[in-house]
Structure 1
Amino acid sequence: MLTLEQIFPPFALRIACGPVALTVLRDDDLPELVELVQDGVQDPGLPMPFLRDWHEEPFAPGAPDGFPTASLGWWWKQRATFAPDEWRLALVVRRDGVLVGMQDVHAAEFPHRRTVETGSWLGRRHHGQGTGTLMRRLVVGFAFDGLGAERCESGYIVGNHASAAVSRKVGYVENGRKRIVQHTRAGTFAVDEQRVTVTPAGFVRPQGEVTVDGADVVRRFLGLDLSGEAEATAKPTRNIADK
């Protein structure tokens, strides 16, 4: 019988360093993920970090409106629309086996642009333990070493000093600001987003051994192994073990 990993190769991906491991979101993770969101995501006093305040929707399991129905649709859509020309990996972050947050990585026209976009969040009670920095370093390292990316981009709402600190620790540098619109229960607001970018030359790697399982099958699924150039740029570095 076929395995889920054979049917959808990204399920085979696992990136780990020390107590932190990243894997692609599965349906079995959803109950724990929903409970994590219910326990709180946003730090008081910091700007709302998302385009929409999905994490503050009324809790209504089993109902067509509210949380988690809309969020489930978003997570499932990422899997259903995954394709070589545009893809998004929703990675579950676990620390010592406990689900603590999510790390997303998204790319469009990746074989040509060699650029990915990252976004992430942690459950509020898991802030301040270094997990946010490590999980970002792991996904950026995978993009550079496992996929052959040449640039990783991200952004944060101006005034979110916690997100700014994580970006600096990973090696991101400021890359201009843009005006974006946030949709909340209190209304629709325009805010400034600070854009940041990092290249392999500026990337601050995690301390300790990093292991990556499944990068080879993900590359094939994305069609990257079909190009000699892509294969050459996707060779692992000394602290990445591609099994």
Structure 2
Amino acid sequence: MLTIEEIFPPFALRIIGGPVEMRVLRDGDIPELVELVRSGVQTPGLPMPFLRDWHTQPFDPGAPGGFPTESLAWWWRQRSTISPQEWHLALVVRSQGRVVGMQDLRARGFDQTRHVESGSWLGLEHQGRGTGTLMRRLAVGFAFQELGARSCGSGYIAGNHASAAVSRKVGYIANGIERIVQQTSDGPVGVDEQRVLVTPATYVAPQDPVEVHGAEQLRRFLGITRG
């Protein structure tokens, strides 16, 4: 009988560095992830970091709306629509075995652009410990070394000094300001997003040794050749 990793190769991916391990989100991770969100993910005093305030929706499990139903739909949709033309890896981040946050890698037309976008968040109790920097370094290093990316973009809301610090530590450099719209409970709000870009020339690798498992299966699944 085939394993789930053979059926869906993204599930075989494991990226490990120091106390951090990242894998594509599985249904078994969701209960821990829901509790993490309920304990808080937005740093007090800093701008709302997401395009939509999903993390503040009413907690109403089993109901058709609110949290976690709408977030579940979004997580499952990323997994169900993955293809060589457009893919989104929603990676659950564990530190010393505990779920602490999420790290995303996504691309469109990767074979032509060799560019990926990334985003991440951590539960409040796990912030300020270096985990955010490490998980971003692991993700960017994986994109460069295993997928053959040439650049990795990201962004943070202007005024979010914590995200700015993580970006600098990973090797991102400023890449312009973009005006975007955030969807909040009070309606749409226009905010400035600082765009940042990291390349192999500016990337700061983690100090700990890095292990990657399942990269070859993932490349085959996504039609990626490292040229």
Calculate the TM-score normalised by the size of structure 1: 0.93
Deviation sequence 1:78-106 (CA, Å, 0-9, x none): 01100000000000000000000000000
Query: Pairwise mapping of residues 45-56 of structure 1 onto structure 2 (< 5 A)?
Result: 45-56=45-56
Distance 1:180 1:58 in 2: 25
Distance 1:111 1:185 in 2: 38
Distance 2:220 2:153 in 1: 23
Please name the residue that 1:14 is paired with: 14
Distance 2:219 2:109 in 1: 14
Please name the residue that 1:227 is paired with: none
Distance 2:148 2:198 in 1: 14
Deviation sequence 1:44-82 (CA, Å, 0-9, x none): 100000010000000000000110000000000001100
Offset at 1:186? 2.1
Query: Pairwise mapping of residues 98-137 of structure 1 onto structure 2 (< 5 A)?
Result: 98-137=98-137
SS in 2 for 1:147: coil
Distance 1:25 1:211 in 2: 18
Matched, 1:173 2:173: yes
Distance 2:163 2:86 in 1: 26
Please name the residue that 1:42 is paired with: 42
Distance 1:98 1:172 in 2: 27
Aligned length: 227
Matched, 1:202 2:202: yes
Distance 2:109 2:201 in 1: 23
Deviation sequence 1:185-217 (CA, Å, 0-9, x none): 122210000000000011000001000000000
Matched, 1:86 2:103: no
SS in 2 for 1:191: strand
Deviation sequence 1:135-184 (CA, Å, 0-9, x none): 00000000000000000000000000000000000000000001000111
Matched, 1:59 2:59: yes
Matched, 1:4 2:4: yes
Unaligned segments of structure 2, at least 5 residues: none
Distance 1:81 1:42 in 2: 28
Distance 1:137 1:15 in 2: 11
Deviation sequence 1:18-42 (CA, Å, 0-9, x none): 1001000000000000000000000
Runs of 4 or more, structure 1, over 4 Å off, are none
Unaligned segments of structure 1, at least 5 residues: 225-229, 234-243
Distance 1:21 1:191 in 2: 33
Specify the code of the residue in structure 1 equivalent to 2:19. P
Please name the residue that 1:238 is paired with: none
Please name the residue that 1:29 is paired with: 29
